[in-house]
Amino acid sequence: MTGIPLPPFVPPRLLRCVASTMLGAVLWACAGGAWADNALFERLPSAVKSSKTIKWVGDSFAPYRIVGDDGKTVTGLETDLARALEPLLGVRIEQHIVSNLPALLAGIDTGRYDMSTGPVLSTRPREERYDLVTWLLSKPAFIVPTSGRNTTKLEDLCGMRLSFAAGSSQEQYAIKVGERCVNGGLPTVRLVPLPDQNATVMAAQAGRADAASMQLAAALYLQKQNPGKFSIQTDQTDALGVLHLGFVMKKNSPLAPVLQDALKQLWASGAYLKILDKWGLANAQTPEPRLNPSSN
pLDDT at 264 > cutoff 90: yes
Residue 173: which of 152, 193, 151, 201 has the closest Cα?
193
Give the C-alpha separation, 257 to 263, whole Å: 10
What is the predicted pLDDT for the residue at 238? 81
- Residue 213 in contact with residue 162, Cβ under 8 Å? yes
Q: Kindly state the average pLDDT of the residues 97-114.
A: 93
Residue 261: which of 123, 137, 133 has the closest Cα?
133
Mean pLDDT of the residues in the chain? 86
Per cent of the chain over pLDDT 90 is 63
Asked if the bond preceding 87 is cis, omega within 30° of 0, the reply is: no
> Could you read off the pLDDT of 187-207 as tens digits, one per residue?
999 999 999 888 999 999 999
Per cent of the chain over pLDDT 70 is 88
Q: Which residue has the higher pLDDT, 209 or 283?
A: 209
CATH number (3.40.50.1100, 1.20.1440.130, 3.40.190.10, 3.40.470.10) of 12-113+251-291 reads 3.40.190.10
pLDDT band at 61 (very low <50, low <70, confident <90, very high): confident
What is the predicted pLDDT for the residue at 281? 84
Q: Which residue has the higher pLDDT, 5 or 259?
A: 259
pLDDT at 86 > cutoff 70: yes
Within this chain, domains 12-113+251-291 and 140-234 share the same CATH topology: yes
List the chain domain ranges. 12-113+251-291, 140-234
Domain 140-234 has CATH 1.20.1290.10: no
Q: Kindly state the average pLDDT of the residues 60-78.
A: 91
pLDDT at 109 > cutoff 60: yes
Neighbours of 81 (CB within 10 A): 22
Give the C-alpha separation, 30 to 139, whole Å: 35
- For 113-146, b/e burial (b = at least 16 CB within 10 A) is bbbbbbbbbbbeebbeebbbbbbbbbbbbbbbbe
pLDDT band at 48 (very low <50, low <70, confident <90, very high): very high
- Residue 154 in contact with residue 234, Cβ under 8 Å? yes
Q: Which residue has the higher pLDDT, 216 or 20?
A: 216
pLDDT at 19 > cutoff 60: no
> Could you read off the pLDDT of 149-185 as tens digits, one per residue?
899 999 999 999 999 998 787 888 899 999 999 999 9
What is the predicted pLDDT for the residue at 295? 86
Q: Kindly state the average pLDDT of the residues 70-92.
A: 94
What is the predicted pLDDT for the residue at 22? 31
What is the predicted pLDDT for the residue at 161? 97
What is the predicted pLDDT for the residue at 37? 60
pLDDT band at 27 (very low <50, low <70, confident <90, very high): very low
pLDDT band at 209 (very low <50, low <70, confident <90, very high): very high
What is the predicted pLDDT for the residue at 36? 52
Q: Which residue has the higher pLDDT, 177 or 242?
A: 177
pLDDT band at 32 (very low <50, low <70, confident <90, very high): very low
What is the predicted pLDDT for the residue at 31? 31
